[in-house]
Chain A
Amino acid sequence: MNSLQTESAEIEQSKSPNSFLQFWRSFHRKKPAAISLYFVLLLFIIAVIGPFITPYDAAEPNYNNLLETPSLAHFFGTDEYGRDILSRIIAGARISLSVSVSAVTIGAIIGTILGLISGFIGKWVDKLIMRICDVLFAFPDLILAIGIVAILGPGLKNVVIAVAFFSIPSFARIVRGATLEVKEMLFVEAAESIGAGRLRIMFKHVLPETLPTVIVYFTMNVGTAILAAASLSFLGLGAEPSSPDWGAMLSVSRDYIGTAFHLVFFPGLIIFLTVLAFNLLGDGLREMLDPKMKD
């Protein structure tokens, strides 16, 4: 940054500090992120109340309506058993969201704790944890997940474990970096000097400071996790083929490409939109919470 930019940046900073209301307002100025937030909230509501609002039973075959193209009765058409695809997508929201959110939550908790310990304690503990992360990083994410599912066997529970596993090292690294920064700050030293215990400092002072980073990263990782879980289901390593999981729906509908494209189109579209929403939301949050990332 040259002097001129520093000067104009200083002028910018004369703004008052953010209160929550201001945060909320300026977040809404970022349209893509704000729309994404509402889309994600809608998805969560659908995930909770989904089974009660589906126009048709998502699991009940209807042999009179096989492979129907989209119509007013079935907005997204019907599948090879005559099941309404919209209803199945609604029912599948719960599976996709719960798998990805729980996997990332597990990964984030373990990764954050490891990162905190690594950054805060330092020395050999730090080295050990970082070397373990290096080893995990040596495996491409999806390959690691496939390997874990190969060991544990297919199924959604194992998909959660696999996805959680590959999220750990990146959370650990990011939190470690943030912790090292926070550690330099005065109030940590002050807390140390008044004799506060390490654990207490770590969780009461350092953790809250690293939370913005974790939240941004969490949001973006949910998107990645949805893609990874869908990929595993698509490969036949995740959800049962009969379940309305979005990835599993695509796996089955592959065979109908050329004959009934809507079977392929709609589940993929909803995966895309969901992941897009999480990514845009993450981008927006990052700009808000992490001023370093601003252009």
Chain B
Amino acid sequence: MPDLLEVKNLKTGFHSENGFLPVVHGVSFNVKQGEIVGLVGESGSGKSVTSLSVMRLFHDTPGEIVEGEITYKGKNLLDLTEKEMTSYRGKELSMIFQEPMTALNPVLKIGRQMRETIMMHMGMNKKDAHQYAIETLESVGIPRAAEIMNEYPHQLSGGMRQRVIIAMQISCNPSLLIADEPTTALDVTIQAQILKLLERIQAKTNMGILLITHDLGVVAEICDRVIVMYAGEIVEEATAVELFENPQHPYTKGLMNSVPKIGSKKKRLDSISGTVPNASNMPKGCKFAPRCPYAMPICQEKEPGLIASENHSARCWLLDEETVKEEEKQIDY
């Protein structure tokens, strides 16, 4: 399958009073057509900034993409003018956000917000767009869609709103959907429904989905492939099956231990101690070393590269047998 999206060496950061603070440090990955890729990490890992970079959504923020390539269907999005990019958003690449409660404009009716996208990207008149919007709403499982078109966002529940947003963002048949924590703000039962919905849409339209989440449970549910990010870097990448069977990076292992297993009697989760380092004071060596239970002396000094095998790659010195031997020798003496 061809690459739908290919991100190469992406560097993004924020301008602040103390100068430029990099948040994403040279990230590369791809999403193929018909694939659901999970982008996983704690808050502050740079996963949201990565996804916003793909959409180039840094208006009215101090964020800036400083380096890299984002190739979509063979075209580098970073070369497009803002106007060209605008015509891509919603039509070619779409995005749904974490907070369904605030992502819809509270003073405009659902219908108006649905129609404007459709009229703009599909060149329909108001009447056709209205009909098409109702059909799209129905396709994501919204009952009494025609009535909802005349209602305001605050009249709907959180789950309904997220459905409306999904309908809005897939209405123009984009090839790539970026879903930034689409279920985090919802009740558990609704979460499952929304994930099922995304899976169904994907199967029907064969679009690529980049799913950003901090929840490995969500990944296990629907993703084909997983990218784990830590402190602005990719630390592990594998197919979902492979990753869950054989996690290689200590960070990924830590994340897995913090997922509650069904039937497990443990009440508390083993979460990783400490927090993601601040953008303004990154550790010198491996960025995870300060929190890593297996850290070796070299980890504090030198940053490891991605060590790849088939279907799997991870950024950790432990995977480099020679280094491990060297380190062990030093400890022995």
Contact = CB atoms under 8 A, between A and B. Distances in A.
A8 B98 contact: no
Interface string A94-127: 0000000000000000000000000000000000
A14 B48 CA distance: 21
Contact of B16 (A2, A3, A5, A8): A8
A11 B98 contact: no
Nearest to B279: A11
Nearest to B278: A14
A11 B61 CA distance: 13
B278 A5 contact: no
Given A8-B16, A11-B16, A3 B98 contact: yes
Contacts of A8: 14, 16, 61-63
B330 interface: no
Given A3-B98, A4-B52, A8-B16, A14 B61 contact: no
Contacts of A7: 14, 23, 44, 48-49
Q: How large is the interface on A (under 10, 10 to 19, 20 to 34, 35 or more residues)?
A: 10 to 19
Contacts of A12: 16-17
User: In the complex, which of the residues A2, A11, A15 has the most CB atoms of chain B within 10 Å of its own CB atom?
Assistant: A11
Contacts of A5: 61
Interface string A1-30: 011110110011011000000000000000
B195 interface: no
Nearest to A3: B48
B21 A11 contact: yes
A11 B63 contact: no
Given A3-B98, A5-B61, A11 B48 contact: no
8 contacts: A5-B61, A7-B23, A7-B48, A8-B14, A11-B16, A11-B280, A12-B16, A14-B278
Main secondary structure of the interface of A (DSSP, over half): helix
B18 interface: yes
Q: How large is the interface on B (under 10, 10 to 19, 20 to 34, 35 or more residues)?
A: 20 to 34
A63 to B, nearest CB: 62
Contacts of B44: 7
A14 B280 contact: yes
A8 B20 CA distance: 11
A12 B21 CA distance: 10
Contacts of B18: 14-15
Contacts of B17: 12, 15
A15 B98 CA distance: 29
Contacts of B14: 7-8, 11
Contacts of B61: 4-5, 8
A4 B52 CA distance: 9
Nearest to B181: A3
A7 B49 CA distance: 10
Nearest to B21: A11
A11 B46 CA distance: 13
Nearest to B57: A4
Interface string B202-239: 00000000000000000000000000000000000000
B110 to A, nearest CB: 21
Contacts of A3: 43, 48, 98
Contact of A4 (B21, B49, B99, B278): B49
Interface string B60-75: 0111000000000000
Interface string B62-99: 11000000000000000000000000000000000111
A15 to B, nearest CB: 7
A257 B43 CA distance: 68
B280 A4 contact: no
B279 A4 contact: no
A223 B97 CA distance: 46
A273 B155 CA distance: 51
B333 to A, nearest CB: 41
B16 A4 contact: no
A4 B63 contact: yes
A129 to B, nearest CB: 34
B164 to A, nearest CB: 18
A161 B4 CA distance: 74
Contacts of A15: 17-18
Interface string A71-110: 0000000000000000000000000000000000000000
A120 to B, nearest CB: 34
A174 B43 CA distance: 37
Interface in A107-165: none
B103 to A, nearest CB: 9
Nearest to A1: B102
B261 to A, nearest CB: 29
Given A7-B14, A8-B63, 9 more contacts: A2-B102, A3-B48, A4-B49, A4-B52, A4-B63, A11-B14, A11-B16, A11-B280, A15-B17
Interface string B102-114: 1000000000000
Nearest to A12: B16
A7 B14 CA distance: 10
A7 to B, nearest CB: 7
Contacts of B102: 2
Contacts of B280: 11, 14
Contacts of B63: 4, 8
A290 to B, nearest CB: 18
A275 B62 CA distance: 34
User: In the complex, which of the residues B16, B44, B52 has the most CB atoms of chain A within 10 Å of its own CB atom?
Assistant: B16
Contacts of B52: 4
Contacts of B278: 11, 14
Complex A-B, nearest 5 residue pairs according to Cβ-Cβ distance, in ascending order: A8-B14, A12-B16, A14-B280, A11-B21, A8-B62
A257 B12 CA distance: 63
Interface string B1-37: 0000000000000101110010100000000000000
